[in-house]
Amino acid sequence: MLLPLPSLAMAGWLLTGAGSAIGSGPLEASSIQVASSASVWKFTRTQGTKEGETFASVMKTADTAQSDADFAGLIVRCAPQGKIDVLVALIRPFPPRSHPKVTLSSAAGGTLTFEASMAAAGAAVLLPDEVSAFAAGKWQTAPSLSVLVKESDSEIKGVVALNGLREAYHSLLANCGQ
C-alpha cells in the first residue's frame, strides 16, 4: 500500500525540524539504503531559524500493511546540546499541548510506556530523552518497533521496520553539529 500524498507531504514537513522557518525546506536529502527498499532511512538536513543553523535527521516510514493510516513513521534527529531526539510522526495531529501515552514494543527492548509531548504543531510526538538510548543501542538489532500512541479517546498504532537503523544512526551522528 502506498502512502497518500498528504502523508508524504507531512513526513517531509516533519523532517524540517522544530525550529525551521515556514517556507524553508530541506537543504539536502538522501537515502541510506541497506539490502532492500524496506531498509531505506531518509537523511535530511534542514535550515534552522538562525543564520547558518542546520539540523540533521533520519526518518523511516511506517509499514503500511501493519499500521493505521494516521501513523507516518519514526524520526531520529539531532537536537541542541548534543542530544538526539526520537519522534513518532503522525498524519492526523493531536492537540499541541497534549501529553499522549506512548507504548513501544520491540523484540530487543521489551515493552515500555512513556508520557510524551507534542512537536510540529501536534503532528509529531516527541518521546522522552531516555528513548534515544534505545535508538543508539537495542533497536539497532531489533527487526521492528511497534508503537501505540494514546491521547484521550484516540489511539494510533503503527510498525516501523528497524533494519538499517545502525547505519542511519551513525550517519546521523556524523552529521550532527555540522
The pLDDT of residue 168:
96
pLDDT-derived band at 109, boundaries 50, 70, 90: confident
Q: How many domains does the chain have?
A: 1
The residues, any chain, with a CB within 8 Å of residue 134's CB and separated by 6 or more, are 86, 104, 106, 109
Nearest to 12 by CA among 174, 32, 163, 20: 20
Chain position carrying cell 503522525: 90
Q: What is the pLDDT of residue 26?
A: 47
Tell me: the pLDDT tens digits for 5-43? 344 444 444 444 443 333 334 455 555 544 445 569 999
The alpha carbon of residue 79 and the mean position of all alpha carbons in its chain are separated, in whole angstroms, by 13
State mean pLDDT over 90-98: 95
* CATH code at position 121: 2.60.40
Q: What's the whole-model pTM score?
A: 0.80
Closest C-alpha among 50, 76, 45 to residue 175: 45
Q: What is the pLDDT of residues 119-175, one digit of tens each?
A: 988 999 999 999 999 999 999 999 999 999 999 999 999 999 999 999 999 999 999
User: For residue 102, with 0-12 CB atoms within 10 Å meaning exposed, 13-18 middle and 19 or more buried, which class applies?
Assistant: buried
Domain that residue 62 falls in: 5-175
